């Protein structure tokens, strides 16, 4: 018992023995620890003997004089409390990591989706932020091509882009469907006869054309117009329409504020409109990212063929 043998490694078995020893010390006797541990005194005695052999020291006196810790036993008790508290702290911290995510979420979207009435991206970002201060959201507004390049090279985790020509390296899931109408401002000559505009009047009016990819349906409608200006995004199109000098297509949810104020009107809306799909894009073969998965689960995506 007095032989000094170094403890090379603390095993799961040693931790179980330390828990038994701690309980015995807290109860002040083997008999007092029986009900707490749910094992017999003889089993407790065997466990204590095993621990003393493992540590190479006597931990307690037991016999007719009663139970008492030795000096070494008190030191081992103090050390065992430290290690058991550390293990419990580790367990709690790991569980907390499961509950509160940590890291960055890099999101890029095409502009002017904030007025989309369904607000699915907004609600998903709110849910991710609710995970705690350990999550940092990095949101950027960009063109569809730049977003797709950022996803492929790994700079972005997720993007929201028009679903026009899917790239083979990305997965797409339908997020929104939106309708675009042809608008002019209240200062434009066509404003007063918006409901009955003719093709000849459209061809005679200066129009702003998007400088980004469009669907075949959108291209067909733009071919009715006279190209006089271009814009790289929908905000640019709105700026030019509001000058009173141009007509152009905008999503109805984006134009709604100006329409309500009487500053814009849709031209022949029964005929001059097209529908677009906005999709969430992700890189194929991406590494698992718990924050991204939380964001995606909140979006409740619908898969779209690539």
* 85 Cβ neighbours under 8 A, 6+ residues apart: none
Terminal alpha carbon distance of the chain: 73
CATH architecture for segment(s) 86-175+278-298: 3-Layer(aba) Sandwich (3.40)
Instruction: Tell me the pLDDT of the chain (306 aa) as tens digits.
Output: 445 566 667 788 888 888 888 888 888 888 888 888 888 888 988 988 998 888 888 988 877 777 888 999 899 889 888 888 888 777 766 655 666 677 889 999 988 888 888 888 999 999 988 877 788 899 998 888 889 999 998 889 999 998 988 899 999 999 989 999 999 999 999 999 999 899 999 999 999 999 888 889 999 999 999 999 999 888 999 999 999 999 999 999 999 999 999 999 999 999 999 999 999 999 998 887 888 988 999 988 755 544
Taking each helix axis from N to C end, the angle separating 30-37 and 41-55, rounded to the nearest 10 degrees, works out to: 100
Where exactly are the structural domains of the chain? 12-80, 86-175+278-298, 177-275
Can you give the pLDDT at residue 1? 45
Q: Which letter, b or e, does each residue of 236-269 get, where b requires 16 or more Cβ atoms within 10 Å of its Cβ?
A: bbbebbbeebbbbbbbbbbbeebeeeebbbbbbe
CATH architecture for segment(s) 177-275: 3-Layer(aba) Sandwich (3.40)
Topology (CATH level 3) of domain 12-80: Arc Repressor Mutant, subunit A (1.10.10)
Q: Assess whether the region 86-175+278-298 and the region 177-275 belong to the same CATH fold.
A: yes
Could you tell me the CA-to-CA distances from 44 to 18, 33, 34, 70, 130 in Å, in that order? 12, 8, 8, 18, 48
Q: Which residues pair with 171 in a beta bridge?
A: 282
């Amino acid at each position: 018992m007095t032989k000094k043998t170094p403890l090379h490694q603390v095993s799961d078995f040693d931790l179980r023995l330390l828990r038994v020893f701690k309980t015995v010390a807290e109860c002040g006797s083997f008999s007092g620890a029986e009900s707490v541990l749910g094992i017999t005194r003889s089993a407790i005695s065997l466990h204590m003997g095993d621990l003393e052999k493992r540590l190479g020291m006597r931990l307690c006196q037991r016999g007719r004089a009663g139970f008492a810790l030795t000096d070494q036993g008190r030191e081992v008790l103090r050390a065992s409390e430290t290690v058991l508290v550390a293990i419990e702290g580790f367990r709690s911290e790991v569980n907390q990591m499961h509950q509160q995510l940590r890291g960055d979420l890099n999101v890029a979207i095409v502009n002017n989706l904030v007025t989309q009435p369904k607000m699915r991206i907004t609600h998903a970002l709110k849910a991710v932020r609710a995970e705690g201060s350990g999550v940092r959201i990095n949101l950027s507004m960009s063109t569809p091509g730049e977003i797709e390049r950022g996803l492929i090279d790994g700079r972005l985790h997720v993007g929201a882009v028009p679903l026009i020509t899917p790239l083979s390296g990305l997965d797409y899931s339908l997020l929104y469907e939106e309708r675009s109408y042809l608008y002019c401002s209240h200062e434009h000559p066509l404003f007063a006869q918006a409901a009955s505009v003719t093709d000849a009047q459209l061809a005679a009016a200066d129009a702003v054309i998007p400088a980004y990819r469009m669907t075949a349906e959108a291209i067909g409608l733009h071919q009715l117009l006279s190209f006089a200006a271009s814009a790289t995004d929908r905000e640019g199109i709105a700026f030019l329409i509001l000058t009173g000098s141009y007509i152009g297509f905008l999503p109805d949810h984006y134009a709604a504020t100006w329409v309500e104020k009487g500053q814009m009107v849709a031209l022949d809306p029964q005929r001059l409109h097209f529908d677009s799909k906005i999709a969430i894009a992700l890189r194929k073969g991406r590494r698992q990212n718990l924050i991204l998965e939380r964001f995606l689960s909140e979006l409740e995506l619908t898969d779209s063929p690539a």
